Amino acid sequence: MKILLTAEQLAEGISRLAQRVRDDVGRRPITVVGVLTGSIVLVSDLIRRLEGPVRVSMVWASSYRGATTTPGRLELRLDLLPDLAGQEVLLVDDIFDTGRTMEALVKELRCRGAKQVRSLVLLRKQGRSEVEIKPDFVGFDIPDAFAVGYGLDYNGAWRHLPYLAELEPADIHEERDSQIDSDGDSGT
Ligand code: 5GP
Ligand code: MG
């Protein structure tokens, strides 16, 4: 695996992102909506750097199935959301690739009456967007490679890495051999 971002670089990036959110939102209340499962580490690091009243909720999205690194059909689950009527929402996802996940979720959150929906991603892949919308806050632009670590998985593995790495063909074989997880939740 090739390291794309070290734990130190990630921490600096999150601090920068949090500062920009604080500059933008001030001390007004916001509802942070994280996208399971890839955003869990980011959400936990980010919310501890915010000021003012913060509510946290999660939605679930997946466009990958099992041992694959290319997106499939998008599935969403929104049943954990609180009432968002009149709320300022910060949608937080691990990575903006084609942008389809973020586009669909921003639309859903607006439909639920959110007063404003801002979007934040840790990573954005270069040259991949298929949508009109752009994330409001981006931590890092990365090359078009399959990334794991810091919450991002491949077939359920490697979410726990404290750094971000690029998956290489040899890693895919290693993961297959170890059969660490076969529940097929890759890319969530
Ligand atoms: P999009 O809808 O923008 O194409 O894809 C966004 C979702 O796909 C992310 O929330 C993430 O779950 C998954 N994804 C996209 N690229 C990668 C990647 O390089 N590595 C991993 N682990 N997941 C990815
Ligand atoms: Mg995801």
Establish whether residue 153 lines the binding site of ligand 1, counting it when its CB lies within 6 angstroms of any ligand atom. Answer: yes
- CATH code, domain carrying 74: 3.40.50.2020
Structural domain count of the chain? 1
**Minimum-distance ligand to the CA of 105?**
1
Range of the domain at 144: 2-185
The whole-angstrom separation of Cα 53 and Cα 34 is: 16
pLDDT digits (tens, 9 = 90+) for 131-141: 999 999 999 99
Expressed in angstroms and rounded, the spacing between residue 27 Cα and the centre of ligand 1 is: 31
Q: Report CA dihedral (23, 123, 159, 167) to the nearest 10 degrees.
A: -160
Q: Say what the pLDDT of residue 186 is.
A: 55
Q: How confident is the model at residue 65 (pLDDT cuts 50, 70, 90)?
A: low
Handedness of CA 96, 30, 57, 81 (dihedral sign): negative
Least confident stretch, 19-23, 71-75, 101-105, 117-121: 71-75
Q: Which mutation among 63, 138, 167 tests ligand 1's pocket best, with the greatest number of atoms within 8 A of CB?
A: 63
Q: Say what the pLDDT of residue 120 is.
A: 98
The pTM (predicted TM-score) of the whole model is 0.92
**Minimum-distance ligand to the CA of 98?**
1
Q: Say what the pLDDT of residue 175 is.
A: 74
Q: Say what the pLDDT of residue 183 is.
A: 46
